[in-house]
Amino acid sequence: MENGFSSPRSESFPAGLRVLVVDDDPTWLKILEKMLKKCAYDVTTCHLAREALNLLRERKDGYDIVISDVNMPDMDGFKLLEHVGLEMDLPVIMMSVDGETSKVMKGVQHGACDYLLKPIRMKELRNIWQHVFRKKIHEIRDIEHENIDIIQMSRNGSDLSDDGHMYCGEDFNSKKRKDFDKNDDKDFSDHSTKKHRVVWSVDLHQKFVKAVNQIGFDKVGPKKILDLMNVPWLTRENVASHLQKYRLYLSRLQKENDLKASFGGIKHSDFPPKDPAASFGHQSSINLNQNDVANGYQFCGSNFVAQDAETKNNEGDLKIVSEIKRTLTADVSDPQKMRSSQSFSHSFASLETEASYPAFDSTNPPEFSWSENPETQIKKEHKPHLQLEDGYSQLPPHGQQHQIPINQLQSDPAVTSVLSLTGRDMSGSIEIKPLFNECKSKNVSHVSPTESAIDTFPVQTKSQLINHQSFEPISTVISSMKPQGFNLSITDLESCQRNLTSASDPNFAPINEDLTVWLQGDYYRMNFGQSIDFIDYDDPGFLAEVPFYLYDPLTSDFQCPIDSTTECPIVDQGLFIA
Amino acid sequence: MDVVVQLQRQLTDHTASLFHEGFLNEQFNQLQQLQDESNPDFVVEVVSLFFEDSERLLNELAKALEQQAVDYKKVDAHVHQLKGSSSSIGAQRVQAVCIPFRNFCEEQNIEGCLKCLQQVKHEYSLVKNKLETLFKLEQQLIAAGGSFPTL
């Protein structure tokens, strides 16, 4: 995957690797610092575990790798190791003067990627970059893997002609893996011929997106795209792999959007930026139904790290975007059911945290070109809240390119609420953004077009509103809300359902205090093509529609009268559970 | 430059003996190699840190072992730290004493611990003296216009 690796430092990699060293022994700290500097690494030292964690949290993507001693006065090195792994997902190397097997074993169990014995030689430090590199590769592979699964899923019923053979399960996966090292944009089906990497420039990607939109996201296939793009040197395989990434990206984006809306934005400026990151990491731990998605998350996380490095690299951005899109698309196979929404939400969630969901414009015409993937241009009105964490700032604000038509509303101002749960233990705030899709229009009495498409309930209960546990089941996206729109909602199916049905009930109890439900304002905007101003939370109609995907425990408060007239097949089917 | 030559010889001999007698090990060489123009006093600085830290630890150890109810966990923690610290500069003999010291802690053997404490103090002061001599010789050599080779 090029995105992860094509960081600005890549040319001189591993020089400039950002290392955080934690050791309570001042002598060792000094020595290690000197040794690492000699390796041309960028070193930061601290002698307390707490200090280290603070540093790491402050700058989520400020470091590439952490080296820590096992015995420290304020916190056990293994504990630190766990925290770092969970929250930041960075490679951690343990050190100790004690080389007992049991200790080493413990280190490995807690996730250390290496265990060094003191006295440490410089040559041992020289090669620590391999852990960073390896992690990135694995993450990418995971994403790819996930994508493949997703694609497979989505393709079950669809046309397999072109793409089918490319994504033939194991085969593909294994090929992918084999090929992985060779080149990124590869040619899945044929790895006998050496293909050189295709660099997806902004222009090229734009062509791609245009073609995809033209064809209609749900009907898209590499061959068709290739034909439309009319780029002679591009092969179908290149397009196929790019499509995959694009889908992944989109799905991530959705999630992010949700997340973002929930915390960043609309009213949530206080949501600490790191949260998303944290949540992100955390999210990965959340078990989303879709493993894919989970993977995606991870990927997202790491992606972000990588992204970070990439700074304003359009291309890099694109990559991420494409990753996300890929996941997205993959997820949704059936336009009617927004199964994808789920993955979407997942990815969004991850995205959200990380990337600044830049403005996707929501110029998307009402018709939804993308049933599955929200390829809407999300009009970013809320730029401000899109500021994603540092890591993701790279994410292309050129949302234009990746327009994700989130919901295709068919001229209904559908509110897509994306419920994304950000499980951030750490910050303890979980935001769930319900993504309400058009579905709402169905059930809901109606959201008047003038209403902001996105109703975001800024319920922010920053504290864990949603427990992760409950989150799980909810992870489905309520895609089915609206046949076309994809609702990304990671929420409980039931709630979804309820929400939908209750949409028509103006008394729908809005947001639970406990639940921070952020309806994605952004999203909605997209749907409409009109400029939606986000959030009209107060709009009763909206409220009604807002499906609170509250996790069960949370939803106790609200009554969503389940209306049997719910037309939107909500989550039941929409459960995009991988 | 007889003086220089003499000093150089002294320095070399002294250093060799340190290694030979096991006061220092390879790690010390590593430190010397890390020293460069940007850090001309690196070795001295590191060793000074070691001295400070060790003295602190030795005090803590003495205190902890004087208690009525000895907290062996604490003692063990200190010894562990001392072990790590001494390994940083290659103070081999100090490091070596820490091993039985830790065993005694585990066994909660107060006598064994006290004995080890004494031993470790002894080794520490030995290596400290030797290193201080080393640094003095180096300084003298530089002052006399020579330079000392790194082993």
B44 touches A: beta carbon within 8 Å = no
Is the distance from CB of A321 to CB of A250 less than 8 angstroms?
yes
Inform me whether the pLDDT recorded for A493 exceeds 60: no
Q: What phi-psi label fits residue A553: left (phi over 0), alpha (psi between -120 and 50 degrees) or beta?
A: alpha
Inter-chain touch B88–A24, beta carbons under 8 Å:
no
> Which amino acid, one-letter code, is at B41?
D
Rounded to two decimals, the pTM is 0.45
Inform me whether the pLDDT recorded for A547 exceeds 60: no
Inter-chain touch B46–A121, beta carbons under 8 Å:
no
Is the distance from CB of A338 to CB of A485 less than 8 angstroms?
yes
pLDDT band at A10 (very low <50, low <70, confident <90, very high): low
Token pair in block for residue A411? 């001229």
Residue A265: is it exposed, middle or buried by C-beta count within 10 angstroms (0-12/13-18/19+)?
buried
Q: What phi-psi label fits residue A535: left (phi over 0), alpha (psi between -120 and 50 degrees) or beta?
A: left
Inter-chain touch A35–B34, beta carbons under 8 Å:
yes
- Mean pLDDT value across residues A343-358: 38
Give A173's Cβ-side CA count (13 Å radius): 13
C-alpha distances in Å from residue A92, one per residue of A50, A65, A109, A113, A220: 15, 6, 12, 6, 42
- pLDDT tens across A466-476, in order? 333 443 333 33
The whole-chain average pLDDT of chain A stands at 57
Inform me whether the pLDDT recorded for B127 exceeds 90: yes
- Nearest CB among B42, B80, B90 relative to A71 is that of B80
Inter-chain touch B88–A98, beta carbons under 8 Å:
no
Inter-chain touch B80–A31, beta carbons under 8 Å:
no
* Per-residue pLDDT at B106: 92
pLDDT band at B149 (very low <50, low <70, confident <90, very high): low
Instruction: Please report the sign of the dihedral spanned by the C-alpha atoms of residue A310, residue A489, residue A172, residue A402.
Output: negative
- pLDDT tens across B47-94, in order? 999 999 999 999 999 999 999 999 999 999 999 999 999 999 999 999
* Per-residue pLDDT at A262: 63
Inter-chain touch B84–A69, beta carbons under 8 Å:
yes
C-alpha distances in Å from residue A492, one per residue of A197, A279, A295, A373, A574: 41, 19, 20, 20, 11
- Mean pLDDT value across residues A186-193: 42
Inform me whether the pLDDT recorded for A35 exceeds 50: yes
The nearest CA of chain B is from the CA of A116 a distance in Å of 13
* Per-residue pLDDT at B31: 92
- pLDDT tens across A244-274, in order? 888 888 877 777 777 766 654 444 444 344 4
- Mean pLDDT value across residues A323-327: 44
Beta strand pairing call for A18-22 and A42-46:
parallel
Residues of chain B contacting A45 with CB distance shorter than 8 Å? none
Q: Which residue has the tokens 């009319």?
A: A230
The whole-chain average pLDDT of chain B stands at 91
A72 touches B: beta carbon within 8 Å = no
* Per-residue pLDDT at B96: 93
Residues of chain B contacting A98 with CB distance shorter than 8 Å? 80, 83
The helix or strand, by DSSP H or E, that contains position A280, with its residue range, turns out to be helix A274-285
Nearest-Cα residue of chain A relative to residue B87: A119
- Mean pLDDT value across residues A183-199: 48
- Mean pLDDT value across residues B16-42: 92
Best residue in B55, B88, B89, B92 to probe A by mutation, most A CBs within 10 Å? Answer: B88
- Mean pLDDT value across residues A112-133: 91
A439: Cα separation from own chain's centroid: 23
**Most confidently predicted of A216-230, A284-298, A495-509:** A216-230
Is the distance from CB of A464 to CB of A282 less than 8 angstroms?
no
The rounded percent of chain A whose pLDDT value lies above 90 is 12
Alpha helix positions (H), A426-518: 439-443, 468-474, 493-503
Is the distance from CB of A120 to CB of A35 less than 8 angstroms?
yes
Residues of chain A contacting B27 with CB distance shorter than 8 Å? 119
- Is A294 strand, coil or helix? helix
The rounded percent of chain A whose pLDDT value lies above 70 is 35
Inform me whether the pLDDT recorded for A118 exceeds 80: yes
pLDDT band at A549 (very low <50, low <70, confident <90, very high): very low
- Is A96 strand, coil or helix? strand
Nearest-5° Cα angle at B57, B55 to B61? 120
- Nearest CB among B46, B52, B83 relative to A31 is that of B46
Inform me whether the pLDDT recorded for B3 exceeds 60: yes
- Mean pLDDT value across residues B27-44: 91
Inter-chain touch B85–A27, beta carbons under 8 Å:
yes
Inter-chain touch B84–A25, beta carbons under 8 Å:
yes
- pLDDT tens across A42-91, in order? 999 998 999 999 999 888 788 999 999 998 888 888 988 888 888 888 89
CA–CA gap between residue A255 and residue A490 (Å, rounded):
9
- Is A489 strand, coil or helix? strand
Q: Which residue has the tokens 């009009």?
A: A379
Inter-chain touch B85–A96, beta carbons under 8 Å:
no
Inter-chain touch B81–A71, beta carbons under 8 Å:
yes
Inform me whether the pLDDT recorded for A492 exceeds 60: no
For residues A216 and A397, the model is more confident at A216
Query: How many C-beta neighbours within 10 Å does residue B51 have?
Result: 18
Is the distance from CB of A296 to CB of A184 less than 8 angstroms?
no
Inter-chain touch A97–B83, beta carbons under 8 Å:
yes
Inform me whether the pLDDT recorded for A340 exceeds 90: no
The nearest CA of chain A is from the CA of B38 a distance in Å of 10
Is the distance from CB of B51 to CB of B57 less than 8 angstroms?
no
DSSP string, A373-400: S--BPPP---TGGGPPPTTBTTS-S-TT
Residue contacts between A and B (CB atoms, under 8 Å)? 55
* Per-residue pLDDT at A157: 56
Query: How many C-beta neighbours within 10 Å does residue B106 have?
Result: 10
Q: What are the phi and psi torsion angles at A415 (to 5°)?
A: -105, 125
The nearest CA of chain B is from the CA of A26 a distance in Å of 7
- Nearest CB among A25, A31, A35 relative to B81 is that of A25
- Nearest CB among A26, A38, A98 relative to B80 is that of A98
Give A483's Cβ-side CA count (13 Å radius): 6
- pLDDT tens across A152-170, in order? 777 775 554 454 444 444 4
Nearest-Cα residue of chain A relative to residue B74: A73
> In chain B, what is the straight-line distance between the N-terminal and C-terminal CA atoms, in Å?
22
Inter-chain touch A25–B34, beta carbons under 8 Å:
no
| CB interface of B with A, residues 45-64, below 8 Å | 45-46, 49-50, 52-53
* Per-residue pLDDT at A424: 38
